[in-house]
Amino acid sequence: MATLNLKQLLATICLHILAVGHAQHVKVEPNVSGYIGGEAVLRCQFVDPGQELQVTQVTWMKDPSGAKVNMAVHNPQLGTNYPTDTGGRVHFRQASLQDASLVIERLEMGDDGIYSCEFATYPDGNQEAATNLTILAKPQNSANALLERARPSEVPVAVCTSANGKPAASITWRGYVPGNVSTTQTRNSDGTVTVKSEYKAVPSGEIDGQTMTCVVDQRTLTQPETIPITLLVQYPPIVTIEGYDDNWYLAREHAALTCNVKANPSATEFKWLMNGEPVPQSVEVHGHQLTVAEVNYDVNGTFTCEAVNTLGTGRGKMDVIVREREAAQPSNAGAIAGGVIGGILALLIIACLVGFFLQKRRRGPAGSYDPKTRVFGARNGAPQPDYTYRPDSDSEKGPSVATATTTEAQDHREAQDLLKSQPPTYENYSEEEEKRGEPASENELMLQLPDRDGVEPWVEDDMESQRDGSIISKKAVYV
């Protein structure tokens, strides 16, 4: 078979070289493919624009470098002939010396090979070009699991087959079961190929029921075909016990244990024991289910469940401890209470912040306090409060204040400290008035804070305390 393929390759190379030499006249498709049972058209045309050559005959041959079988001949004077009996499957599409395309119907695997289109011309002689016809076969793909018993050695657990395809298919595996792949190819008598791939793994209860996927890729398939496989492994029962919550207390009702069994084939028998002996009479057993109507100290111990199938017996154990009273169950009441308290605190904080900003907004700039500003007026040229004493006002209530604000207790103390720390000074005294000890006039007398601890008695008579802790003169006019 390898020798035949080599001959076909050499013949193809030679024919291509020959076709290149006469490319200006004979035109063919180098490669054509078809499916079994389908149809293939081998195109061949003779191109001679200048009509320099005289064509007398056209012939199609198969395997021109080997057996050289004549498939079809057309001669304008002698007619058309098909020397090889193909059952009518081979014929010219349009018999002429310009278009000698050949049609092969109901393709068979034996039609695969190299075909040569040859024109007899004068005076240049024969001119030809070759076409390689490849017959394709769509494979039949299948996959299945191989039933195995649990064992420590690696064996085939699944097989995937791509049969009677051409060209040969490619098989790969997908899945999470550790293992190895073994692939073989078999060439059939009709030229098709069968590919077989086995997936090998250690069979155990853990891989039973796992899914593997066989992926087949081949030229005739529009996309790779995937075939899922569920692995099958026979093994003795694997037993676990569920239902014990570590809170079996005296007088508890309807406590239960469940015997969970994984086995292939399925378990057919179940048996319950307590401390290696038959279970107490107060315990009810129904197959894989054990129920205690009312818990007492008789069920304080180790329970065992035995499950049996055709391959063996599996056992599972559970230690049960009977309590005097019910164990405290975790509660989320504390978390709920904490959440409620946190929410209330958050609302209170938000309310305080809103109140603070609203109060600050109402107070505006007057909310700040400067002792010197309140006693002497605003600094830096700002308007000063009017602390003028008016005789016609209610003297019991103090002077009329045009612009003044109430301050906190700290503001009062700071104003009093400033008043004590500076002595009063007087301006615009005439010498004569100074001798009399009287001021020149009420409008000329200007008072400033004293910087000594006390004030003169006559000054005290002239001063009047205010509600905010400051003092002002009854006669002085503050500008």
Q: What is the pLDDT of residues 168-184, one digit of tens each?
A: 999 999 999 999 999 99
Q: What is the pLDDT of residues 372-398, one digit of tens each?
A: 444 444 444 445 555 444 545 444 444
Homologous superfamily of the 2-136 domain (CATH): Immunoglobulins (2.60.40.10)
**Quick one: pLDDT at residue 472?**
64
Which amino acid, one-letter code, is at 339?
G
Sign of the alpha-carbon torsion through 376, 381, 382, 385: positive
Query: Cβ(117)–Cβ(98) under 8 Å?
Result: no
**Quick one: pLDDT at residue 80?**
94
Please tell me if the domain spanning 2-136 has the same topology as the one spanning 236-323. Answer: yes
**Quick one: pLDDT at residue 298?**
93
**Residue 167 token pair:** 């060209």
The whole-model pTM stands at 0.56
Q: Which residue has the higher pLDDT, 470 or 139?
A: 139
Q: How far apart are CA 412 and CA 207, in angstroms?
A: 90
- Of the candidate CATH numbers 3.20.20.80, 2.40.37.10, 1.10.645.10, 2.60.40.10, the domain formed by 140-231 belongs to 2.60.40.10
Task: Find, among 46, 59, 54, 51, the residue nearest to 123 by Cα.
Answer: 54
The three-class DSSP label of residue 375 is: helix
Q: Which of 6-15, 145-154, 405-414 is predicted most confidently?
A: 145-154
**Residue 280 token pair:** 């107490």
**Residue 110 token pair:** 């034996």
DSSP 8-state class, residue 99: B
Would you tell me how many other CB atoms lie within 10 Å of the CB of residue 299?
21
Would you tell me how many other CB atoms lie within 10 Å of the CB of residue 192?
21
Phi and psi at residue 143, to the nearest 5°? -155, 150
pLDDT classification of 331: cutoffs 50, 70, 90: low
Q: How far apart are CA 58 and CA 43, in angstroms?
A: 13
HSE-CB of 16 using CA atoms within 13 angstroms: 10
Phi and psi at residue 12, to the nearest 5°? -65, -45
Would you tell me how many other CB atoms lie within 10 Å of the CB of residue 466?
18
**Residue 109 token pair:** 């695997």
**Residue 459 token pair:** 């000054």
Question: Does the pLDDT value for residue 230 go beyond 70?
Answer: yes
Residue spans of alpha helices (H) in 51-203: none
Question: Does the pLDDT value for residue 411 go beyond 90?
Answer: no
Give one DSSP letter per residue of 424-437, joined into a string: -------HHHHHHT
Q: How far apart are CA 194 and CA 137, in angstroms?
A: 11
Q: What is the pLDDT of residues 274-325, one digit of tens each?
A: 999 999 988 999 999 999 999 999 999 999 999 999 999 999 999 999 999 9
- The owner of tokens 């209470």 is 337
Q: How far apart are CA 35 and CA 28, in angstroms?
A: 20
Q: How far apart are CA 41 and CA 105, in angstroms?
A: 9
Mean pLDDT, rounded, of the chain: 79
Q: Which residue has the higher pLDDT, 476 or 74?
A: 74
42-60 average pLDDT score: 92
The three-class DSSP label of residue 313 is: strand
Q: How far apart are CA 115 and CA 128, in angstroms?
A: 10
Give one DSSP letter per residue of 252-282, joined into a string: -EEEEEEEEEEEESPP-EEEEEETTEEPPTT
**Quick one: pLDDT at residue 372?**
44
- The strand order across the sheet containing 253-264 reads 148-149, 233-242, 253-264, 289-294, 283-286
pLDDT classification of 150: cutoffs 50, 70, 90: very high
Taking 3-state DSSP, the helix, strand and coil percentages for the chain, each rounded to the nearest 5, stand at 20, 40, 40
Q: How far apart are CA 350 and CA 102, in angstroms?
A: 94
Q: How far apart are CA 191 and CA 137, in angstroms?
A: 9
Q: 236-323: what CATH class? A: mainly beta
DSSP 8-state class, residue 454: -
Question: Does the pLDDT value for residue 436 go beyond 60?
Answer: no
Q: Where are the domains of the chain?
A: 2-136, 140-231, 236-323, 371-473
450-462 average pLDDT score: 48
The three-class DSSP label of residue 355 is: helix
Query: Cβ(359)–Cβ(351) under 8 Å?
Result: no
139-151 average pLDDT score: 95
Q: Above pLDDT 70, what percent of the chain?
A: 69
427-451 average pLDDT score: 46
**Quick one: pLDDT at residue 315?**
95
Q: Which residue has the higher pLDDT, 82 or 367?
A: 82
Q: How far apart are CA 335 and CA 287, in angstroms?
A: 43
